[in-house]
Amino acid sequence: MSDARNRIINRPMRIKILPDVVKERIAAGEVIERPASVVRELLDNALDAGAGAIRVEIRDGGIRTIRVSDDGSGILAEDLALACAPHATSKVGSLADLDAIHSLGFRGEALASIAAVAEIKIASAPDESGLATVLSLRPEGGETHISAARVRGTTVTVRNLFSALPARRAVLRGPRSEAVRVLTVVRTYALAYPGVRFTFADDGRLILQTHGTELTSAITSIYGSDAGRALRPLEAAASEPAAITGMIASRAFSFPTRDHVVVVVNGRPVSNRSLFVAAEAGYRPLLRKGRHPLLVVLLTVPPDRVDANIHPAKAEVLLRDETTLAAALRTVVHSTLGAAPLTIGEEPLAGSHFQPMQMRLPIARPKHRIAERASRRHIRATIPPEADEPGHITTLTAIAQFDDSLILARSAAGALYLVDQHRAHERALYETLKQQTGSLLNEDHQPKNDGKTIRLHQMLLEPVLVELTSLQAMRLAQRADELAALGLECQPFGGTVFLVRAMPNIPDAAHSPTAFAAELAHTAAEDTNDWLNQICISLACRSATRRGQKLPLVRQQELLDGLRSVTAKAVCPHGSPLLLRLTASYLASKFEW
């Protein structure tokens, strides 16, 4: 050890080109990190070969065996050895090809990289003769060729991953955890390619199977029929130069992780940060803290506007119009998820213990959570929800008020709605405030608040003195203009002290304006990008009609009308539901009409 260090310090080392075997192993390190990365590469190849059905089997989390079979084009016998050579590909031939990649693979590295770190066997039949050629390779050298019976297609079997590389193997987690990662990859591809039949078996047990039809069917196969029924298509305004399609499940089907948010660009599942951040900006205000939706986004852009060649495992792409796309994505996620009312039969209770197919994997789970689930099972609702009414909740008619807190209303399609009066008002006020501050979530939307503005300014009889830290004071000073636009006037009063001289007008607020003024000033001085949004939330919450307040019918109707122009009709700014729907057919079935 000290010997080596001395050598480095004392005299320059000679530079030489690496032998091929070393080069290959280094390259393999970049592409192949764990079983899931092998599976991803093999799926790419099967899909590039035009497969209509793909079967993935693993043993011991894929560390012992990974087998991917497809019914694609196959590989010619004479090309089989070449397929495993570094930089050997049938997909790209020139620099021009690299500028508009239509296939998932293009570097010709995957099979070579896998062969460098594991035993690999490829059986492939390129025609209907029923005969396949089988090539077996070992990392330490040695290959065999035999023939075997097989229908058209290719089966790649990868064994003993990293067995000669103890350091790499040590980085792997246990078989269960690797199996879950493989499942995540297969599930993601099954959602990205709903037209392909996917099967996944883990240690001989069937874990996932899709029908190879369309997206709703794939989601239903994976997450169950309740989730399938709760899906809403993403309805994006055509945002040149890309098309956004996909599905989002209602808020009842939320998850504690981001694993069920899938973004696909031209058929390639990607993990571009800005797209995930945009999707999250769209759903975050609509879900409880820490929850993520079931969301599949399919982006289609002209191939010359994407560069897939920026990430070793091709997990990220460079998108020329990423900022525009991200904004469009945020808008569509927000409006689709926010517009869906909670419907009897798919309330969060049903979602909170719902188990997608992956749960069949024996993953260790805390015991109390299992018990909790079991105890809730008996109250699960079983009524299938209906598809949303066209233009739903734009035409709610108030019928009566219940317990001074809920407005009962009827929709044009004859559904009964229960509307939380406080949250409905809060949502409408919030969106109006956001428009007034010029920072509505959907900046690209035209303001549609029916010309309503909230009268903001209210001079305080006595200015409120607020003392801040020096960092807070700096931030507050920088934000003074935006605050003034909201009616909150904060004046520096020497050092880190501010005077709040005016604040937004809050009719019949229960709280003392003094305490609220100070609270707003503190929120405005917080170290977060979200401060303005937080102020709008506080203002809307304080100003909204409270539960427990008797409302005449006209006022009830006004509150319902206020929901017409908002983007997220079904959720209050804190993320709680504000509408509950009982569809006409639900009522008919329950009353046996």
Out of 61, 72, 74, 105, the only residue in the binding site for Mg ion (CB under 5 A) is: 105
- Picking from 154, 143, 6, the residue whose alpha carbon sits closest to that of residue 71 is 154
Rg of the chain's alpha carbons, rounded to an integer? 29
Amino acid found at 368: H
Task: Give least dist CB 183 to ligand ADP, A.
Answer: 20
Task: Give least dist CB 384 to Mg ion, A.
Answer: 42
Task: Give least dist CB 320 to Mg ion, A.
Answer: 24
Binding-residue pattern over the window 43 to 82 for Mg ion, x denoting contact by CB under 5 A: -xx-------------------------------------
What DSSP assignment string belongs to 471-506? HHHHHHHHTHHHHHHHT-EEEE-STTEEEEEEEE--
Cβ nearer to ligand ADP, comparing 111 with 263: 111
Residues 110-129 binding Mg ion (CB under 5 A) are 110
The one segment of 86-94, 130-138, 209-217, 454-462 that binds ligand ADP by CB under 6 A: 86-94
Out of 37, 65, 133, 154, the only residue in the binding site for ligand ADP (CB under 6 A) is: 154
Task: Give least dist CB 72 to ligand ADP, A.
Answer: 5
- Measure the CA–CA gap between 437 and 447, rounded to whole angstroms: 12
Partner touching 49 among Mg ion, ligand ADP, none, CB below 5 to 8 Å by kind: ligand ADP
Q: Are strands 318-319 and 295-300 parallel, antiparallel or unpaired?
A: unpaired
- In the chain, count of helices (H) and strands (E)? 21, 23
Contacts of 136 (CB under 8 A, 6+ apart): 119, 120, 121, 143, 144
Both ends of the chain: CA-CA distance in Å?
Answer: 86
Cβ nearer to ligand ADP, comparing 71 with 420: 71
Out of 39, 56, 83, 261, the only residue in the binding site for ligand ADP (CB under 6 A) is: 83
Residues 289-328 binding ligand ADP (CB under 6 A) are none
Cβ nearer to Mg ion, comparing 109 with 226: 109
Cβ nearer to ligand ADP, comparing 103 with 221: 103
Task: Give least dist CB 24 to ligand ADP, A.
Answer: 12
The one segment of 84-92, 158-166, 194-202, 402-410 that binds ligand ADP by CB under 6 A: 84-92
Does position 108 interact with ligand ADP (CB under 6 A)? The reply is yes
- Measure the CA–CA gap between 370 and 242, rounded to whole angstroms: 43
Q: Which residue is nearest to Mg ion (CB)?
A: 105
Q: Are strands 342-343 and 579-582 parallel, antiparallel or unpaired?
A: parallel
Binding-residue pattern over the window 14 to 43 for ligand ADP, x denoting contact by CB under 6 A: ---------------------------x--
Partner touching 89 among ligand ADP, Mg ion, none, CB below 5 to 8 Å by kind: ligand ADP
The one segment of 110-118, 169-177, 286-294, 386-394 that binds ligand ADP by CB under 6 A: 110-118
CB atoms within 10 A of CB 552: 10
Partner touching 106 among ligand ADP, Mg ion, none, CB below 5 to 8 Å by kind: ligand ADP
Burial of 125: CB neighbours in 10 Å, binned 0-12, 13-18, 19+: buried
Out of 64, 91, 546, 564, the only residue in the binding site for ligand ADP (CB under 6 A) is: 91
Is residue 286 classed as helix, strand or coil in its secondary structure? helix
Q: CA dist 123 to 69, 134, 151, 224, 397, Å?
A: 9, 4, 10, 34, 66
Q: What angle do CA 353, 357, 363 make, to 5 degrees?
A: 75
Q: CA dist 545 to 58, 241, 495, 559, Å?
A: 58, 44, 39, 9
Q: Which residue is nearest to ligand ADP (CB)?
A: 105
- Picking from 308, 327, 326, 328, the residue whose alpha carbon sits closest to that of residue 318 is 308
Binding-site ranges for Mg ion (CB under 5 A):
44-45, 105, 110
Would you tell me which residues interact with ligand ADP (CB under 6 A)?
41, 45-46, 49, 70, 72-75, 83, 88-91, 105-112, 154
